[in-house]
Structure formats: structure tokens, C-alpha cells
Copies of this chain bind each other. A is one copy, B any other.
Amino acid sequence: MSDTAQRIVLATRPTGEPTAENFRLEHTPLPEPDDGEMRVRVLYLSLDPYMRGRMNARKSYAKPVEIGEVMEGGTVAQVEVSNHPDYHRGDIVLTHVGWQTHAVVGHRQVLRRLTEAQAPISTALGVYGMPGFTAWAGLEEIGKPESGETVVVAAASGPVGATVGQIARLRGARAVGIAGGAEKCAYLRDELGFDAAIDHRAPDFAEQLKAACPDGIDVYFENVGGAVWDAVLPLLNDFARVPVCGLVAHYNDTSLPPGPDRSAALMALVLTRSMTLRGFIQNEFSARYPEFLREMGRWLHEGKMRYREDIVEGLENAPEAFIGLLKGRNFGKLLVRVSHPD
């Protein structure tokens, strides 16, 4: 058992792309739990695009991380010291303690208890956790793909996109994935069973997407924005549904792009195609989380849902991994292995 903790705090706010200088690694004494609390040691830290929004001073959909505060993030952790009767040393829990090796938590901060018998514990940060639920809820509540419809998703080899495409297929829809590079596209087609996969870096990307969607697009699960959205927009069918889950292509934007102003044209398309654009964050649908866990748990057990993890070793490497995430450098759910379980 180590006698010091490490944590990564927000040192300065980024302008545009984050850099290593925006983060600072700190060493602190091990925190000691009070009565009813426990100290946990982080095993896995999840790195997710939403964290970029937390680095800005401006509220996006959650309050920002303050300068000097520990970067926020979901974690799988193991109980090291417990002063709570329901938890024991060695228990593994899903919690949200951020970019640090150790933390003191109360039982209310434990989101779920985890056992390897349910699913590999790291999946509680991916397909069997928040990203998976984001995919499931966005389709259940907004996208509502019907059999035979075409569902398109970008960042499709990531934990949300990969899950969106596989759920779409399980619901009887066609899944078309967009990803960066031939290797990711091959993975989508060959390992996840997407009906088509398009490389957004291809010079004829828009034409390829059109060819892959001969009946247009009924559901576009938006997590990227930018050039992908521009290519998707003309292909959207009447009554298309667009769950707007993320806009990672714009997270580093520092000013509005030059004109012409296409915002009224976008509204006109929403009107004439009777389209639905609906922004969401998964926690608004948390009442359905138990239902998600049952269905996803079954799919995982039956081998109907596949996932891929991209694991970086060591908390100190989290900033570089996170910077790469925003550039699409990861391949699969990006996790930091902070420590090994007992």
C-alpha cells in the first residue's frame, strides 16, 4: 500500500486544443476516511470527450472544473480502508472520483458494486456503463430505429458509437459507421458487424457515405459535428431523428467559423423534413438505467455485444491520452490503468 496519493488537477484553462501545460500532477498524503466513509484506490480512470467541456470556465451542461481542482472522471476503484459496514477492503465499486489514485468516498458516491461475474469490471466505464447507456438511451428515447431503417453514427469505433451501431443492428436496422482510418473501418465491418463503414478522412467521404445509404438516413446519432454532419445533413430522410450527444469536432473551437451563415438553412431543413434534433445527456434518462443493465448484461453474456478497450498505463499519462482522444488517436474505449487490484 502506497503512503502517498497522486492527482491531476486543472492547472490552466485551454484555449483551443488542450496541452500538457493545462494539467498538473500533484502528490498528496493519503486521505483518511471518517466514520461511515471509505478510502478507495482507483484501478481504472475513464477518459471521455465531455471532459473537454469541463475545462472551460463557461457552463456547458455541467459546472466547470475549477483551476486547481482534480479533473473530473468516472472510475473503477477498490476499497482499501472501510469505515462503512456495507463495504469491505477489496470490494470493487464504480464511482466518480476523477483523475487521482486515491479518494475518500461515502456510500452515496458508490454508483454500483462490481464483480467480474457480471462483466469485466472495466466495462462499467464503457459498454456496460455511462457510454453504453448513452448509446442505449439515445436510441431508445430519441433515435427509435425501426427494422429496416438506416442508422448512421460517427466515432463509431469508440464506446458510444460502437454500441449505437450494434444496438441498431440488434433492433433490425442497418448500421453505417464512420471512423478515422482503414483499421477502424475494418474493425467495424469485420468484428462488430456494421453493414458499412466509411473513413471520414477519405477525399470522397461524402460520396462514399451517400453510396452506403441508398435509402437515406433515418437516425443519425450525432457525437461529432463538423464535416461529418455536413455530409449527413443532405441524406436525412423525412422524419429523421438526430440524438445530439456530442460535438467533439467543435470542442476546441475558439470562434465561429466564417460564413455564409447556414443556421437558417439548417432550420429550414428541420422544417421541411419534419426532422427531430434533440440534445441529451444520459443522466436525464437515469430512470431507465436498470433496464439498460439487464438488456446490455444479457447481450454481453450472449456474445451479442462486442467492445474494445484502449488502455493507457499510469495516471501520469492521462493528459497525453486525453489530448489524443480529442484527435481520435484512441482505438476503442480509452481507459487509464491507475493501479492493479489486490
Q: How far is the CB of A240 from chain B (nearest CB, A)?
A: 10
Q: Which of A260, A267, A271, A275 has the most CB of B within 10 A?
A: A271
Contacting residues of chain A (217-242) with chain B, CB-CB under 8 angstroms:
222, 225-226, 229, 239
Is the Cβ of B270 less than 8 Å from the Cβ of A281? Answer: no
Q: How far is the CB of A216 from chain B (nearest CB, A)?
A: 14
In this complex, how many residues of chain A approach chain B with their Cβ under 8 Å: the count is: 43
Give Cα A134–Cα B245 distance, bound, in whole angstroms.
Answer: 29
A277 partner, pick from B245, B253, B272, B277, beta carbons under 8 A: B277
Is the Cβ of A260 less than 8 Å from the Cβ of B257? Answer: yes
Contacting residues of chain A (237-282) with chain B, CB-CB under 8 angstroms:
239, 244-247, 250, 253, 255-281
Contacts of A257 in B (CB 8 A): 259-261, 264
Contacts of A229 in B (CB 8 A): 267
Question: A116 on the interface (CB 8 Å rule)?
Answer: no
Is the Cβ of B259 less than 8 Å from the Cβ of A261? Answer: yes
Contacts of A277 in B (CB 8 A): 267, 270, 275-278
Contacts of A270 in B (CB 8 A): 244, 277-279
Contacting residues of chain A (254-313) with chain B, CB-CB under 8 angstroms:
255-281, 284
Is the Cβ of A274 less than 8 Å from the Cβ of B281? Answer: yes
Q: Which of A226, A257, A263 has the most CB of B within 10 A?
A: A263
Is the Cβ of A267 less than 8 Å from the Cβ of B222? Answer: yes
Question: A4 on the interface (CB 8 Å rule)?
Answer: no
A225 partner, pick from B59, B61, B225, B264, beta carbons under 8 A: B264
Q: Which of A253, A256, A267, A281 has the most CB of B within 10 A?
A: A267
Question: A60 on the interface (CB 8 Å rule)?
Answer: yes
A264 partner, pick from B59, B239, B250, B259, beta carbons under 8 A: B250
Of the A-B pairs whose beta carbons lie under 8 Å apart in the complex, a sample of 16, sorted by A's number, is A61-B272, A229-B267, A244-B271, A246-B271, A247-B268, A247-B271, A256-B261, A258-B260, A258-B261, A262-B262, A263-B263, A263-B265, A271-B279, A275-B278, A276-B279, A277-B277
Shortest Cβ-Cβ A-B pairs, 3 listed:
A259-B259, A256-B260, A271-B279
| Interface set of A (CB-CB < 8 Å, partner B) | 53, 59-61, 222, 225-226, 229, 239, 244-247, 250, 253, 255-281, 284
